[in-house]
Structure 1
Amino acid sequence: GSSGSSGQERLKITALPLYFEGFLLIKRSGYREYEHYWTELRGTTLFFYTDKKSIIYVDKLDIVDLTCLTEQNSTEKNCAKFTLVLPKEEVQLKTENTESGEEWRGFILTVTELSVPQNVSLLPGQVIKLHEVLEREKKRRIESGPSSG
């Protein structure tokens, strides 16, 4: 019974710590439609998979240079929409529900700004997670910093 979890396999490919994951609808610059991806936030990179079990990502987006994250008022009920404004492109994200929207926003801002955002409406447990991710990301940046060798 080799039921190796895809998370482990993906770690080998990306070599980055997984901070958050979930379904996201992504619309990158130049695309007309949203694409539905299982998305992982590893370090400051979003990895997009066709589904939860896929091991090879189909696309990735480095958000380390995030200029800002703008929220859009969604006309649809129970979904959050926001735009990642990057130096080279703007990427629109849409979540399946407002709660996961807040989580994505929290995690994305935490790793890009290296501080836990104050204005996210999350549960205490989720905020604790953000602080853990913040520590891990700071540590990761120190370790993967100017590599001597």
Structure 2
Amino acid sequence: MKINGETHYQIGEVAEMLGTTTRTIRYYEEIGLLTPPKRLDGGIRIYTKDDIIKLKFILKLKELGITLKEMQELASIYRVHQTPEKIVPRLIEILDSHIEKIDDKIAKLASLRKDIVEYKAKVLDAMKKENGGNDEKA
């Protein structure tokens, strides 16, 4: 719908557009990640393209494993400074921290994989010896 020449979207349209739920969008508003949108008579939420861009950013952070607490911290920085550039240094710190955690998990999984491969080889070797020993007795 157009209001003062600007396209606005209702919450259901936004949710469908972004592959999320209306409840998720409302929740992000409740916890301060999204600024509450304008409302029409009757309380119907309407969102601008800027609101949708912010919501896409939040959903991308969620996809990357950023916690709600970390997102709230970024939102707080944004509210104080009103420029996305001010959140970038903290966002980079958060992303670096997540990269380190993922690298640790990858290392642990690689070690676990190696252990499993070695154990499998021992089991197969033991089975061959056992079967070979039985064949000799027969």
- Give the structure with the larger helix fraction: 2
Same fold (TM over 0.5): no
The structure having more radius of gyration, on CA atoms, is: 2
- Quick check: which one's strand share is greater? 1
Given the two structures, how large is their TM-score scaled by the length of structure 2? 0.29
